[in-house]
A and B are shown apart, each in its own frame.
Chain A
Amino acid sequence: MSSYRYIGKGRRAKEHPRFVTGRGRYVADIALPGMKHIALVASPHASARIASIRADAARAKPGVHYVLTGEEFCAHTDSLLIGVDAPKVTRWALARGLVRYAGEWVAAVVADSRALAEDAAELVEVDYEPLPQVVDPCEALEGRILVHPEHGSNVLYRRKFVWGPVEEAFAGADHRLSFRASWGRSATVPIETFGVVASWDAGTQILDIWASIQMPKYPDQTARALRLPGNAVRVHYDVDVGGSYGVKRGIKHTALAGYLARKLGAPMRLIEDRLENMRGGDMQGPDRAFDLQAAFDRDGTIRGLRIRAVDDVGAYAGRSPLQLGKPIGAICGPYRIPAIEYEPVSVMTNKTPQEAVRGFGQSPTNFAIERTVDRVAQYLGMDRIELRKKNLIRKDEFPYLIPSGSTYDSGDFHTVLDKALAVATYPQLLVLRDQMRKAGKLAGIGIATCLEPSGGNSAFEVLMNPKNETTTWMDSCLVRVDLSGSITGVINNSSSGQGHESLVSTVLGEVLERDPGAIRVVRADSLTALPSNSPVGSRMAIMLGGAAAGAAKRIKQALLAIAAHNFECSPDDLEYRGGDVSLQGVPSKKLSWDQLVEIAHRKFHKLPGGLEPGLQAKFVWEVPTGGGLPTADGRIQMYPCYAFEAHVVLVEIDPGTAKPSIRSYVCGHDCGVMINPDIVHGMTYGGIAHGIGAALYEKFAYTTEGQLASGTFMDYLIPSAMEVPGMTIVDHCTPSPLTEFGQKGSGEAGYLGAPAAIANAVNDALSPLRVSIEALPMSHHAIWSALKEAKSRI
């Protein structure tokens, strides 16, 4: 592994200079001649019938060009796609007839400036007839009030999977326990809101799109919604995205801006303000109640789990129900649990819709599993670490097939946990915790061990929707070497901070033995791009890295073929070094990189037969484990590669104010070979910080009337540098046998275990008081209420 020249080495990211000098190009920086601005009229009701919309005053305002309502928009565009089989749950950017959540857009105003558009939006008068709303997901399951009456139920998806001998495990185990845990409605909430600029060219009949996007099949879905052929939509991927972590899907915004651009013949810009982003932008996250049961023996062996997960997707759905499906690929966590029953239930309420969030539903599931493991340990009076070690899959058991059909590729979980404990100085940490307790404070240590499935394909689609047969989730790279010998990698997606230009230049440099600093990486647009499924599912180190390596190897093969032809020898007799090719053992018999490139570009008479002139290669890579359809009992290989993390955290709680503070944070992390360690570490730190938010601070809270009560950063609390502590990451490397360099994914690292670890730490701190909290976020107020409950018992 250490034989790599560039992979795994410290290296400045290619993207950074433009960002630190203020030269990034985000969607809000794009200004087209004649561009108009869109502002939105939002429903103040969670559920209502739209009786009438009067927009004359708005239209009459100078500088206002158009007011669009749902009646017109829905008549001329198609409903957006939904991940599961529920064709009557239709969804457009503007409501028609009914509004189903507070903040839902009912009209769009187009004006010369955003300020004028907002002024005019205030003049649009909408008469509503309020209807009863359903806000609580349990009530929604009863179905007395229907969010989409045509669908006939509020349930979007429900299935009970049984994998392995669940009945026998529960009947035969020494002990059983059950409890409920819940994951609060939070999301990734990037600092840049979603934005889109759309421009229709009547001459070429092409709709150009610039957007703050991270979404598979986005160009296709945009074209479909607008009833345009796929080749009439050109998405420009050279837009810097100001954070996403899953949520920047924005398909409804794009359909709206695209429709208006075409209708009015002018470029349109729609940039969400913060309230639109948090309330009407459809970017809230999983909101899950778990009913958990565990069957286990007195020695700590966990024999079976029953997990019921009710997930509140809000009033509409795109891919959000599928977030219950992805965790099937790691449904037993990193443990040897042979029997699992899993009942995912996706339910609609009158709330802002849910969108993909970092980990696509895995972090809530990991939280549920890790709370279960801690509760089993507590039940048995067993040490939490010993219990984990007893159940963790052992290094010699890989590849390991789990009951739900996925095979874990590789891992060394015990070693990573031990390394994290060593760096955390666990015995001293226990002493410190106990000293803090003696000094009158509340203090607790949290442990969490969990997996990050990576290399995302979309197997949950075929599992959860029998009408869907998507079994490939490819990614691609094109590599060009120009006449001057410079290398350019062409990628097919926009990036939101993952450093894909650094990734690809490092990989190309590694394979071709050329300086990554001199390699340029550019982005195709969707009409020139090779197939890509965008940077979701923690996949780009594996998939884009693999595609780049594949393309670079083809370039190398071409160079070797040219040299072999000119030396009249076999390519096997040649040596490739730094781009130059020489005859083995005869270093003087050499063709340099420049000479080879010149032959490829100019000297057809020196090219071997069958080799294309010029020097370029593409590589389209399928997810390493391929794609297949599920078995009848719902077993399927979900993602190919599995990264592991072990969190050790010390939390202190002020007994007077109930304020939690994180005193120590160590994360052991094994994502195989790291292509760029700084980038991996950065994403892991960020993931932990995001997990701290989900565990302690962040919540889209709703009133019983369905009003969002946390639509600003003063009530939706994102952790700052004062709440996020200094952290220590402990690296370990178990290479994946499935990938080019042994890499696994890491885009969701940290976030997948931090909420679980912090929840376990807070509960360890509360354990002397014999109270516990099983709902995230464990807000300051929730902890204060628990302390009060404990006091009232005394």
Chain B
Amino acid sequence: MSGTLHLIEVDVNGKRRVAQVPARLSLVDWLRDELRLTGTHVGCEHGVCGACSVMLDGEAVRACLMYAVQAHGHRVTTVEGLARPDGTMSPLQDAFCEAHGLQCGYCTPGMLIAAQALLDANPRPTEVEIREAIGGNLCRCTGYQQIVEAVRLAALRVE
């Protein structure tokens, strides 16, 4: 890649990552291609489908619409960082398995990020709030029904 490289320092899933990156490298390409965190997926690369969602300082953002350099000094959480510290599934991940909240799994990491960001801010969301929170994440398999059920189940269990 052409041009100057920029030094970035990013907390990714609790690990400090230091890298030299070109300005035009997107955050999702950095995560996937350089850090090999391939759980975050690329769907549209224009910010609509939400498959590339990651948390930036706890808030769900589109990693295809951000450059890696913009993550400098921030905290990024990907789907690989959602599990409990002992490596077992988080209540939300477990609820997705229980409620069959996925099929092909491609939108799933983005859905989990969007739903986790919701639950972190609002532990007892209504159905409308759940639908709004995942409203920016497209899924072609599930019709969203069992995803909504999974998020509701996770909220109940955390209670």
Name A residues whose Cβ lies closer than 8 Å to a Cβ of B.
Answer: 12-13, 15-24, 26, 28-29, 31, 113, 115-116, 119, 188-193, 240-245, 273-274, 496-499, 678-679, 681-683, 685-690, 712-714, 718, 720-722, 724, 726-727, 750
B44 CB contact (under 8 Å) in A119, A242, A274 = A274
Q: Which residues of A contact B12 (CB under 8 A)?
A: none
Given contacts A19-B108, A20-B96, A718-B138, contact A242 B103 (CB under 8 A): no
Contact check, B143 vs A688: say whether CB atoms are below 8 A apart.
yes
Q: A116-B1, A242-B106, A724-B144 are in contact. List 10 more A-B contacts (CB 8 A).
A: A24-B105, A28-B32, A191-B43, A191-B49, A191-B138, A274-B46, A497-B103, A712-B44, A713-B44, A713-B49
Docked CA distance A274–B93 (Å) = 28
Contact check, A686 vs B45: say whether CB atoms are below 8 A apart.
no
- Mark each residue of chain B from 93 to 114: 1 if its CB lies under 8 Å from any CB of chain A, else 0: 1001110101111111100100
Interface size (B, Cβ < 8 Å)?
A: 58
Contact check, B146 vs A685: say whether CB atoms are below 8 A apart.
yes
Q: Which residues of B contact A688 (CB under 8 A)?
A: 143
Docked CA distance A721–B115 (Å) = 13
B140 CB contact (under 8 Å) in A189, A273, A726 = A189
Q: Which residues of B contact A718 (CB under 8 A)?
A: 49, 138, 140
- Mark each residue of chain B from 13 to 39: 1 if its CB lies under 8 Å from any CB of chain A, else 0: 000000000001000000011001111
Contact check, A240 vs B104: say whether CB atoms are below 8 A apart.
yes
Contact check, B43 vs A192: say whether CB atoms are below 8 A apart.
yes
Q: Which residues of B contact A681 (CB under 8 A)?
A: 100, 146
A682 CB contact (under 8 Å) in B24, B135, B137, B142 = B142
Q: Which residues of A contact B124 (CB under 8 A)?
A: none
Contact check, A20 vs B102: say whether CB atoms are below 8 A apart.
yes
Q: Which residues of A contact B134 (CB under 8 A)?
A: 721
Main secondary structure of the interface of A (DSSP, over half): loop
Best-buried of B102, B142, B143 by chain A (most CB within 10 Å): B143
Docked CA distance A243–B44 (Å) = 14
Contact check, B80 vs A682: say whether CB atoms are below 8 A apart.
no
Contact check, B80 vs A21: say whether CB atoms are below 8 A apart.
yes
Q: Which residues of B contact A690 (CB under 8 A)?
A: 140, 143
Contact check, A714 vs B46: say whether CB atoms are below 8 A apart.
yes
Contact check, B127 vs A726: say whether CB atoms are below 8 A apart.
yes
Given contacts A21-B39, A22-B38, contact A686 B140 (CB under 8 A): yes
Q: Which residues of B contact A26 (CB under 8 A)?
A: 38, 41, 106
Q: Which residues of B contact A191 (CB under 8 A)?
A: 41, 43-44, 49, 51, 106-107, 138-140
A190 CB contact (under 8 Å) in B78, B106, B142 = B106
Best-buried of B102, B137, B140, B147 by chain A (most CB within 10 Å): B140
Contact check, B46 vs A192: say whether CB atoms are below 8 A apart.
no
Docked CA distance A46–B96 (Å) = 45
Best-buried of B37, B40, B48, B148 by chain A (most CB within 10 Å): B48
Q: Which residues of B contact A689 (CB under 8 A)?
A: 140, 142-144
**B64 vs chain A, min Cβ distance (A):** 10
Q: Which residues of A contact B141 (CB under 8 A)?
A: 243, 497, 682-683, 686
Residue of B nearest to A241 (CB): B104
B89 interfacial contact with A, CB 8 Å: yes
Given contacts A720-B138, A726-B127, contact A686 B143 (CB under 8 A): yes
Contact check, B43 vs A721: say whether CB atoms are below 8 A apart.
no
**A709 vs chain B, min Cβ distance (A):** 16
Given contacts A13-B100, A22-B79, A24-B105, contact A682 B140 (CB under 8 A): no
Contact check, A678 vs B100: say whether CB atoms are below 8 A apart.
yes
Residue of B nearest to A714 (CB): B48
Contact check, A721 vs B46: say whether CB atoms are below 8 A apart.
no
B71 interfacial contact with A, CB 8 Å: no
Residue of B nearest to A242 (CB): B106
Contact check, B48 vs A22: say whether CB atoms are below 8 A apart.
no
B75 interfacial contact with A, CB 8 Å: no
Q: Which residues of B contact A245 (CB under 8 A)?
A: 140
B122 interfacial contact with A, CB 8 Å: no
Residue of A nearest to B150 (CB): A20
Contact check, A722 vs B38: say whether CB atoms are below 8 A apart.
no
Given contacts A116-B1, A721-B131, contact A685 B145 (CB under 8 A): yes
Given contacts A19-B108, A188-B140, A274-B46, contact A683 B103 (CB under 8 A): yes
Residue of A nearest to B139 (CB): A191
Given contacts A116-B1, A685-B143, A688-B143, contact A20 B89 (CB under 8 A): yes
